[in-house]
């Protein structure tokens, strides 16, 4: 059914728009944006007053866990969590079981997404076979099967020569290399950030330099090869400085940051809360501050969730034994809105970092409400007050440190290709 979103605040930095307007969606595309649109017969009118109407949010970093770990999440539950969080597209990371290092797995993900998914799913293929960092996966085959980027996420590509060749191939195939930056000889199995908190807690820790040394190496390889290179979940002030410098050199380097690295410090691990255990680990306050500044000035191109569902089996254990990662699709919007309310990020930048920015990084469709663009739209109620509770989460896993945190703002409506895939309760 065609839809007219009436009277919302339309924020579309891609076309320089921030104004009250109607948005008419017809035949799965944006037909018209303007004031006082006559929607015509048979069109469903939705009252969007008091809400932001923005191009659909795109997550560059989602672990959907299918195939192989459906007890944590699958494409049906993961895409429903995405829709409830305001996302119209997610990029599915390759550390499934088996890993997405070949055409068969990519095609399975694309097919399952078409069958049971409610948002767009773009697979990310592996850089190396089996994510082992030893020999390259067939990138041409992965691209032809629908992969939009390649990554060994969860692991760093430690071998510099292999990374160089990966970049050369990726460049040939027009794919972005996504690196989980961690010198694993330096992180050495550390379960949290190295600093005062880890010393007090007596937890084995990894220094921030485990990330930034890898960022520095890869930037040099990027200069050598000319490949598009993207730093996943950047977490430290030093990494941000290196990326800012690389961009000033004109290198095709981009990066993303997670909502949790923007809002929590390593203090969240002080009481051995395994839901706050993630990799890269939550850092010190000075790092959080540097990330916020870099998100505002555009050094950081995108917010990405690193949605990493785990069951109680992996999380309700001792801190050092617990799996890394937290869910994030359903809490990203209110957490980033905290920065908007604090005056650290403009509403237009909020939209850019969650939609047009990620679209640009992987060359995906979306990110704008231009006439004829796919009707992927998120209606955000910026003032809705709520708290995250396990019984209302769509995700199959509940590993989040944000339970009980008072949140403000959430998706009111998520539309993919002109179809409503999520509709929340509007606050009075």
Q: Which of 329, 307, 327 minimizes the C-alpha distance to 414?
A: 329
Comparing CB distances to Zn ion, the nearer of 126 and 369 is 126
Of the candidate spans 175-183, 322-330, 339-347, 357-365, the one that interacts with Zn ion by CB under 5 A turns out to be: 175-183
Q: How far is the CB of 94 from Zn ion (least distance, A)?
A: 11
User: How many residues at the interface with Zn ion, by CB under 5 A?
Assistant: 2
Q: Which of residues 178-197 bind Zn ion (CB under 5 A)?
A: 180
Of the candidate spans 14-22, 121-129, 174-182, 420-428, the one that interacts with Zn ion by CB under 5 A turns out to be: 174-182
Q: How far is the CB of 215 from Zn ion (least distance, A)?
A: 13
Comparing CB distances to Zn ion, the nearer of 7 and 281 is 281
Active-site annotation holds for 306 = yes
Comparing CB distances to Zn ion, the nearer of 74 and 153 is 153
Phi, psi of 384 (to 5 degrees): -55, 125
d(CA 254, CA 178): 9
Q: How far is the CB of 178 from Zn ion (least distance, A)?
A: 9
Q: Which of residues 10-29 bind Zn ion (CB under 5 A)?
A: none
Q: How far is the CB of 182 from Zn ion (least distance, A)?
A: 8
Comparing CB distances to Zn ion, the nearer of 103 and 283 is 283
Of the candidate spans 116-124, 173-181, 210-218, 342-350, the one that interacts with Zn ion by CB under 5 A turns out to be: 173-181
Given the residues 59, 101, 152, 306, select the one marked as catalytic: 306
Q: Which of residues 153-172 bind Zn ion (CB under 5 A)?
A: 153
Comparing CB distances to Zn ion, the nearer of 179 and 299 is 179
**CB 341 within 8 Å of CB 347:** no
Q: Which of residues 102-161 bind Zn ion (CB under 5 A)?
A: 153
277 binds Zn ion (CB under 5 A): no
Q: Tell me the catalytic residues.
A: 306
**Interacting residues toward Zn ion by CB under 5 A:** 153, 180
């Amino acid at each position: 059914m065609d839809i007219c979103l009436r009277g919302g605040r339309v924020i579309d930095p891609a076309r320089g728009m921030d104004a009250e307007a109607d948005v008419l969606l017809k035949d799965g595309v944006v037909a018209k944006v303007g004031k006082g649109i006559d929607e015509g017969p048979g069109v469903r009118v939705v009252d969007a007053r008091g809400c932001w109407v923005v191009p659909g949010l795109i997550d560059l970093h989602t672990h959907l866990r299918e195939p192989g770990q459906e007890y944590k999440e699958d494409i049906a539950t993961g895409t429903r969590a995405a829709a409830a969080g305001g996302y119209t597209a997610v990029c599915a990371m390759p550390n499934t079981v088996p890993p997405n290092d070949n055409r068969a797995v990519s095609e399975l993900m694309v097919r399952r997404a078409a069958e049971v998914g409610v948002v767009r799913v773009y697979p990310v293929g592996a850089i190396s076979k089996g994510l082992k960092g030893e020999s390259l996966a067939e990138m041409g085959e992965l691209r032809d099967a629908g992969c939009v980027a390649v990554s060994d996420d969860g692991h760093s590509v430690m071998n510099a020569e292999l990374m160089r060749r990966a970049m050369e191939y990726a460049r040939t195939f027009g794919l972005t290399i996504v690196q989980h930056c961690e010198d694993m000889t330096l992180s050495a199995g550390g379960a949290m950030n190295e600093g005062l908190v880890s010393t007090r807690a007596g937890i084995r820790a990894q220094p921030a330099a485990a990330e930034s040394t890898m960022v520095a190496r890869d930037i040099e390889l990027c200069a050598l090869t000319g490949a598009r290179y993207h730093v996943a979940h950047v977490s430290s002030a030093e990494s941000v400085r290196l990326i800012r410098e690389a961009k000033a050199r004109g290198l095709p380097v981009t990066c993303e940051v997670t909502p949790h690295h923007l809002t929590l410090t390593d203090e969240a691990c002080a009481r051995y809360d395994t839901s706050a255990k993630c990799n890269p680990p939550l850092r010190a306050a000075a790092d959080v501050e540097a990330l916020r500044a870099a998100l505002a000035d555009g050094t950081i191109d995108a917010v990405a969730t690193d949605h990493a569902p785990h069951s109680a089996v992996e999380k309700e254990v001792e801190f050092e034994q617990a799996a890394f990662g937290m869910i994030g699709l359903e809490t990203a919007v209110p957490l980033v809105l905290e920065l908007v309310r604090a005056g650290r990020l403009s509403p237009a930048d909020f939209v850019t970092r969650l939609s047009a920015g990620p679209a640009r990084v992987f060359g995906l469709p979306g990110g704008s409400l231009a006439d004829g663009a796919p009707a992927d739209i998120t209606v955000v109620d910026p003032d809705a007050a709520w708290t995250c509770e396990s019984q209302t989460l769509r995700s199959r896993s509940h590993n989040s440190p944000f339970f009980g945190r008072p949140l403000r703002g959430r998706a009111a409506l998520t539309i993919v290709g002109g179809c409503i895939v999520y509709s929340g309760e509007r606050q009075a």
